[in-house]
Amino acid sequence: MIAASASSRADDLVNAAQPERTIAEETVVQEKGRLSARRRSFARLATHPDPAADALLRAQFDLYRSHDLPPALWLDLFEAMAKRGSAEFKAQLAEREERLAKSPDPLRRFEECLEGGDGEQGRAVFEKKPEAGCVRCHSMDGKGGQVGPDLAWLRHNTERAHILESILLPNATIATGFNSVALKLKNGETVAGVVRGESAVDITLASFTDGKRSTVKLAKVVERTPLPSPMTPAFGQVLSKRAIRDLVQFIAEGD
């Protein structure tokens, strides 16, 4: 009895280590499967023990080069190639990065982040990932911070390119009604925040840290200096491309 259960456990281990599919089967998935099935196939190919996985990925990269691979699969393909780590794949990926980095459009380097993300993962990044901190400043459907705009209105309502640009280049366009300023006051103090309201007599700022509102009499203001967006312009460096793609999906379509 004991021996039998030990050996069946060993069988389980062996089975778990075996690829779920042969390369011939993965090829059929890539040729006929839906995007979601192809995405899972790329994840398996990344660590597939059969060296023929390289040839299948090479064929998919050729499709990318001839503009025949759907953009929603680009990141999955590039990640699988990077994970396999052959000198050939590394060189191809580096060549692509270099070429896109030379583009006058700084967003070109992130074009694989526009389509194909996972909205549920995107919500997790938005709400929980400390390097992102989105929820400290933004709410989604009323839940979250009040420094920046509630982002729910963007859902089904805006170009993904705008969402990507807002994350990576926050100062390229400032959301209407969310300009930031520093105000020098007569008493020598300086207050700064996002302008959330202004009348003929006073101005209301939301604090950059917690969104708390404060109102200042305009008569006390001696100098007014526009400030850049409080969003860091470094999300392109601190977040992975996968995290960025998931965020774009979450903001564009929800989870």
Residues that bind ligand HEC (CB under 6 A): 132-134, 136-138, 147-149, 151, 163, 166-167, 170, 174-175, 178, 194, 208, 229-231, 235, 247, 251
The smaller minimum CB distance to ligand HEC, of residues 57 and 151, is found at 151
Rounded to a whole number of angstroms, the minimum distance from the CB of residue 136 to ligand HEC is 5
To ligand HEC, the closest distance from the beta carbon of 118 in angstroms equals 15
Give the residue with the Cβ less far from ligand HEC, 57 or 132: 132
Q: In the complex with ligand HEC, which residue's Cβ is closer, 30 or 121?
A: 121
Name the residue nearer to ligand HEC (CB basis): 116 or 148. 148
Q: Is 3 exposed, middle or buried (0-12, 13-18, 19+ CB in 10 A)?
A: exposed
Provide the residue type at 64 as one letter.
Y
Quick one: angle between helices 35-45 and 52-65, nearest 10? 130
Helices (H), 48-207: 52-65, 74-84, 87-101, 119-128, 134-137, 160-168
Neighbours of 30 (CB within 10 A): 21
Report yes or no: 23 and 50 within 8 Å, Cβ to Cβ. Answer: yes
Shortest distance, CB of residue 228 to ligand HEC, whole angstroms?
A: 8
**Least distance between ligand HEC and beta carbon 159 (Å):** 10
